[in-house]
Amino acid sequence: MDLMEWKTRWMSGGSSLLHLLVFLSLLQDQAVALDVYSFQKEGVQSDAHILYSGPAGGTEGQGWRRPFNPEDFSVCLRLRFFYLWDLSGFLQMWGDVEEDSPTSVFSAELNLRYFRVRMGIFRRLFFLGRPLRALTWYHVCITYSEDTLEFYLNGDLQGSQAGRPEYPVGGTRLKVGAWDAVRSFSGEITEVNVWSRALAVDEVASLVECKGSAGDLVAWTDAWTMHGDVTKADVPSERLCSDRRATKQFLFPPVSSKAAFQVCEGLGGSVTTPRRAEVEDLRRLLSGFPDNETCSRLWTGVTDVATEGEWTYHKNGLPAQVSWRPGAPDGDVLQNCAAIYLEGSSDGLTDVSCSRKLCAVCDVPEGLVWTLLGACEEFPRNIHFVARQRASGEFHFRGYSSYMIMRNDTDGRWVWWDRQRNEVVAILSENEFGFPMGRHSWALQRPVCGRKPPVEHVLLLTPCGAGSFSCDDATCIPLYQRCDLKFDCRDKSDESGCELVQFPPVYRPDLPPSDVASAASAPLPVGVRMVLESADVRTSTMMIHINYNLTLTWREGRSTTSTLNKDYTLNRVPYNTMRELWVPTVDFTNTRGNHITHADEEATMMVLMSGEPTMGGDTRPQEVEVYSGWENPLTVRRKYSETFQCEFDLSMYPFDQQPQQPSRPPTGMPVRLTMLSASSRLLVFDEGESEAVFVGNPHLVEYTVGGVSVDLVNQMDFAVMHSLPHSLPSPSLPPPPSLNLPRLPPPLIHSLTHTLPFSLPPSPFLPPFTAFTLPPSLLPSLLTPSSPPSHPLPPSLPQPSSLPLPHPFFPSPSPLPPSLPHPFSSLPSLHPFLPSLPHPFLPLPHPHHESPFPLFSHLPLILSFTTSTMNSPFPFSISLSPSLYHLHHAFSFPCSLLSFLSLFHTMHSPLTCSLISLPPSLYHLHHPENLLSSFSLISLSSLSQSR
């Protein structure tokens, strides 16, 4: 009802307060209506424009309100576009041509992803954060002051550029719309205003909300003249200024409930579920379409398919508040869908069978954009579409340029149509629902993406925006849910086609990649990470057996990756793909036999997401985030179990340490790795990404792992990496206590020195000493009492008389039980010289356990003394290694018998020895739970030299 109709009714019906209020409201609405000009509504390019005539309707193209200042001005307007061309110019401002004072033309144009402003030869681009959408209103404001150009879109500053034109901008003519027939604008424009100053940010924000003032140079309320394909309409300002997104409704002929849900949700909307107050709007909508009598019953968007009796919205599964017709629902399990009957007076819903075919009305957000992926178009504007429905009911997708997706009038099949060339690009193949939304096969009628007809080509028509993945049925899920090893799409299409690595047309897996981030001649760095889980040191054979995980990391710049996840465990490369990739090969140099790394089924290859992705464009029929191979490295991990050759320095055994000495070749327990895939000219170990760590128990049988160092040698022909575990005595303790023993007669010493077979290197723990062996007949004369020891045991240590077990070197008043023979019954008594020796089987408390702990397992017995001066006192000791050394430390330091013997063999002095086996029952007298298989001792009387 318009204003004149209400005025007539009010005058004829008499005065009333209600009529007065309605009339005033209509007057207010009439006052805030804006003139909106439409250009090239049908998408045919022409020189359609309007010219500013002035406030009083004077001569066409003249009559500015005040003089124009080219150094300080603002131009603002509101627009929305229908179609986009190669150049879509929408504004021009210039001055009258005078020979004495040339001027520059001020102009503005738009594209899908940017605006461009020109002032003579001064041109600036302002790129947008997201593409523009057709049929969507935008507020544009351009200010220029102090040689600085600023551009605002919807009140937000998009950029600022410094510069000035070669000539001042002229300001006597203003043209809105097409620049000419080729550089034209298709869309609607309103609220064009020009100010003689640069507007402030808050003033621009007020204009966006339709609260600002008109321009002081040019006002939109002034006179304008139309030229060409231009129409004018009055539009309420609230439709232009409000942020509310209206809903557009589309009517579809009878389909099944499944097809109705698929079509409406594929359009980005849902099947309408009207409230009682909205039923009349549906009747009015249907009355505008021909053959509406076939749509007296409509599907609604609620079902109880999931759980009988629980009605929910099909799109999101939320509970639905349903207003039913009297007696409904009454179909039980046979009727799980709901419909509304528009005939009759009842407006409630009723339950019906889901297999029936009824009409459907889809509620779709206005301004929604559909994108055609897989088309390989040169210009982005060619793949964007909007949904339209004519009064005849014909539904189609209109592109931003010359493309359309519509039903063919002849056979009713969906076609991709080029209006400009008047030809079919592709024909939709048969599918379950008969609509083009979603991912489907199309029969090509002309070449697309380098493929020539006749051939099937997959295209995706989707309403999903940025950050979303399109399912096959055109519904949308978050992009991060793509390829996450669980189904998120209803059609389960999100876990299909999850190829992680994309290869270039030419790829050689036998050639290493080059380091594209540095100079062309720089080798590619390969990171190595060794995680040592356990180690077993075998001193006697100079070997160490290690279980470890080895990880190699490198950058493959020749390939790209997609569908990466922040959870790196989801970025695993399948074995078949791993076999096609180049993988570095590393040799374990100092192992027994030939051993190298393997990229086999026991290996795990992953992509480490570290760089930012770019969208893959429209060449594939799916949304793809593409990650650079250089920014997102590959890593392959595998577990190995290898035995490496050691290089021990045993001069201080058993109190030795095996660290890496500076400026010396690696000794101790090195793990040597050599790059085999290529020489160091092409491949090196990455110094910043290579490391080795030990995560196992550091306390080994004979050693304690004090750390692991890495030494990289990239200067050799092939890069070498040394990973060296540092070993300490187990545990690292202070030097052993020294014993001052009595002086021996010089003649005896002289006789002993003639029997010395070899000497050991000096030790920081003990004075220089010489080891020798004696026949049993010499022991009684040697071990003659001379004087008591000068340094008895500390008071905190048990005296020999208080030991709970009989000492093997002392006459025992309490002999062992008959079942346990005395272990040293064949040895002479050493009591006079060794009153302070502890019992080798004495349980001592362990620092980490309250219960006693066995002291040691193997006891090599060493006789040693110095030879500095014949007549001077010298240390003389019998060491029960390591019991004496650990007398002050209440935990065990096991020392291998075989390791001790290997020391003498390395000195090239063949020795023979006999072993006394002690039964485990004696050793574990108080600790039967810690049984050992055997307990061995070197008998002092059995050490003899082999001549």
Element (H, E) at 923: helix 920-923
The answer to pTM > 0.75 is: no
Mean pLDDT by 10 residues, the chain (947 residues): 44 46 46 86 93 70 74 94 93 78 88 93 91 92 93 94 87 91 94 94 92 89 93 87 76 90 90 86 83 83 90 90 86 88 79 91 89 92 91 88 90 92 93 88 94 93 91 92 90 90 91 68 89 88 90 93 86 93 93 89 93 84 90 94 81 61 54 90 91 88 80 83 64 40 36 33 38 40 40 43 40 43 40 39 39 34 34 34 35 34 36 34 40 31 29
Please answer whether residues 571 and 564 qualify as being in contact, where contact means their C-beta atoms are separated by less than 8 angstroms: yes
Give the side-chain half-sphere CA count within 13 A for 887: 22
879: amino acid identity, one letter = S
Residue 700 within any structural domain of the chain: yes
Per DSSP, the three-state class of 641 is: strand
Q: In 143-218, where does DSSP find H-type helix?
A: 201-208
| Spacing of C-alpha 670 from chain mean position | 36
Residue 18 within any structural domain of the chain: no
For the chain, how many structural domains are there in total? Answer: 4
> Sign of the CA dihedral 651, 656, 658, 659?
negative
Task: Based on the fold, state whether residues 152 and 272 are members of the same structural domain.
Answer: no
Residue 353 within any structural domain of the chain: yes
Task: Based on the fold, state whether residues 294 and 419 are members of the same structural domain.
Answer: no
Q: 3-state DSSP: the chain helix, strand, coil percent, rounded to 5?
A: 15, 35, 55
Task: Based on the fold, state whether residues 361 and 381 are members of the same structural domain.
Answer: no
Which of 241, 267, 297 is the last residue before a domain boundary? 241
Task: Based on the fold, state whether residues 361 and 228 are members of the same structural domain.
Answer: no
Distance CA 734, CA 105 (A): 91
Task: Based on the fold, state whether residues 616 and 548 are members of the same structural domain.
Answer: yes
Element (H, E) at 927: none
Per DSSP, the three-state class of 759 is: coil
- Quickly list DSSP for 53-120: EETTT-STT---SS---TTEEEEEEEEEEEE--SSEEEEEEE----SSS--BPEEEEE-SSEEEEEET
Residue 619 within any structural domain of the chain: yes
Distance CA 360, CA 260 (A): 6
Domain of 93 in residue numbering reads as 33-241
Distance CA 34, CA 207 (A): 14
- How many residues comprise the chain? 947
Give the side-chain half-sphere CA count within 13 A for 173: 16
Distance CA 800, CA 551 (A): 56
Residue 717 within any structural domain of the chain: yes
Residue 931 within any structural domain of the chain: no
133: left (phi over 0), alpha (psi -120 to 50) or beta: beta
Distance CA 886, CA 855 (A): 9
Per-residue pLDDT at 792: 46
Distance CA 470, CA 462 (A): 7
Contacts of 786 (CB under 8 A, 6+ apart): 742, 743, 744, 832
Per-residue pLDDT at 651: 66
Task: Based on the fold, state whether residues 342 and 259 are members of the same structural domain.
Answer: yes
Joined tokens for residue 4: 């004149």
CATH number where 175 lies: 2.60.120.200
For residue 79, with 0-12 CB atoms within 10 Å meaning exposed, 13-18 middle and 19 or more buried, which class applies?
buried
Residue 3 within any structural domain of the chain: no
Per-residue pLDDT at 550: 94
Which of 226, 241, 256 is the last residue before a domain boundary? 241
Task: Based on the fold, state whether residues 304 and 409 are members of the same structural domain.
Answer: no
> Sign of the CA dihedral 91, 95, 99, 100?
negative
Please answer whether residues 675 and 526 qualify as being in contact, where contact means their C-beta atoms are separated by less than 8 angstroms: yes
Question: Which residues are bridge partners to 684 per DSSP?
Answer: 525
Task: Based on the fold, state whether residues 394 and 314 are members of the same structural domain.
Answer: no
CATH number where 298 lies: 3.10.100.10
- Quickly list DSSP for 693-740: EE-S-SB-SSEEEEEEEEEEE-SSSS-EEEEEEEEEESS--PPPPP--
Question: Which residues are bridge partners to 74 per DSSP?
Answer: 143, 195
Per-residue pLDDT at 7: 42
Per-residue pLDDT at 425: 96
Which of 215, 241, 267 is the last residue before a domain boundary? 241
- Quickly list DSSP for 287-317: HTSTTGGGGSEEEEEEE-SSSTT--EETTT-
Long-range own/partner contacts, residues 334-338 (CB < 8 A, 24 or more apart): 336/303, 336/304, 336/305, 336/308, 337/257, 337/299, 337/300, 337/302, 337/303, 337/305, 338/273, 338/299, 338/300, 338/302, 338/303, 338/311
**Nearest CA-CA partner of 118 in 181, 63, 183, 65:** 183
Task: Based on the fold, state whether residues 554 and 694 are members of the same structural domain.
Answer: yes
Task: Based on the fold, state whether residues 534 and 590 are members of the same structural domain.
Answer: yes
Cβ atoms < 10 Å from Cβ of 157: 14
Tokens 């007057």 belong to: 27
Give the side-chain half-sphere CA count within 13 A for 334: 2
Distance CA 430, CA 426 (A): 13
CATH number where 666 lies: 2.70.170
Distance CA 557, CA 517 (A): 9
Contacts of 433 (CB under 8 A, 6+ apart): 255, 258, 259, 262, 263
Task: Based on the fold, state whether residues 65 and 189 are members of the same structural domain.
Answer: yes
Question: Which residues are bridge partners to 339 per DSSP?
Answer: 299, 350
Task: Based on the fold, state whether residues 224 and 251 are members of the same structural domain.
Answer: no
Residue 777 within any structural domain of the chain: no
Per DSSP, the three-state class of 767 is: coil
